[in-house]
Amino acid sequence: MIEGQLNADERGLITKAILNAPVKPRVALEVGTWLGGGSTLHILRALEQNGTGHLWGIEADRSIYERMLTNIRAAMPTAASRFTPLLGFSQDVLKQWKKEQPADVTVDFVFLDGGNNPREQIEEFELLDPLMPVGGQLMSHDAKLRKGRWLVPFISRLDNWESKLHDISEPGLFYAKKIALRPSPQSLRAAKQHRFRQACQPAEIAASCLPSSVCSFALRLLPKKFSRHLSDGRD
């Protein structure tokens, strides 16, 4: 057993999405591997069971990244041929990754579970969505917390994605499947308007304008329950 997050049902849903895809995913990308025993290992095992597919897994924290590499090697010695770990922040790594791929690369499966700032999942989605074909699947964790607070309503409003929030844990798991290449102009407008209203909330304005050291200092001054609610959306 190696350390990982996500409960058994969430791990099962990731596995099923990959095993039951009508076209077996060839390219899978995840943001936020943590120690590897949660999403990373389960995506890799499902790809292995399919007999095809490669996972690129992004992790921002160097010490966690090193431990994740050791863990994955121990838990799945055959993973080396299916797994490329990438160290760095998703926004930078994804841009670089795109540059290194063939111009016609498609991304069939995406799992987003990186930082708590809701802006990050939106940025990751905006980088990856143009590469995802019809039938491409996207899942994200902490869908009910601050991390997913912008992405979940954004994709839910786009009429070229079918989506569902699995309310099977406190953080929540979001699933979306692309059903058309582009959204209608009306649904895209509705999604953007909603996101704009969310970005105008005072706490989010403060989070994007103030240096993170100032935000951390301010959070430390608040009662623990309230600071947890503001920083990661937990009650």
Note the residues at the interface with ligand SAM (CB under 6 A).
4-6, 31-34, 38-39, 58-61, 64, 89-90, 113-115, 120
The per-residue b/e assignment along 61-92, b for 16 or more CB within 10 angstroms, e otherwise, is eeebbebbbebbeebbeebeebbebbbeebbe
* Residue, CB closest to ligand SAM: 38
Q: Between 14 and 157, whose beta carbon lies closer to ligand SAM?
A: 14
Least distance from ligand SAM to the Cβ atom of residue 182, Å:
27
CB of 210 to ligand SAM, least distance (A): 18
| Smaller CB separation from ligand SAM, 31 or 155 | 31
- Cβ contacts of 133 within 8 Å, gap of 6 or more: 106, 108, 178, 181
CA–CA dist 219, 55 (Å, integer): 36
Query: Measured from the CB of residue 151, what is the shortest distance to ligand SAM in angstroms?
Result: 13
Q: How far is the CB of 222 from ligand SAM (least distance, A)?
A: 22
User: Which CB, 39 or 137, lies closer to ligand SAM?
Assistant: 39
In the complex with ligand SAM, which residue's Cβ is closer, 45 or 157?
45
List the beta strands (DSSP E) in the chain: 27-31, 54-59, 83-87, 109-112, 137-141, 161-166, 173-178
Cα 232 versus chain centre, distance: 15
Q: Are strands 137-141 and 173-178 parallel, antiparallel or unpaired?
A: antiparallel
Tokens (6 digits) for 190: 């509705």
Closest distance of CB 142 from ligand SAM, Å: 7
User: Which SS3 state, helix, strand or coil, does residue 121 take?
Assistant: helix
Minimum CB distance to ligand SAM smaller for 121 or for 156: 121
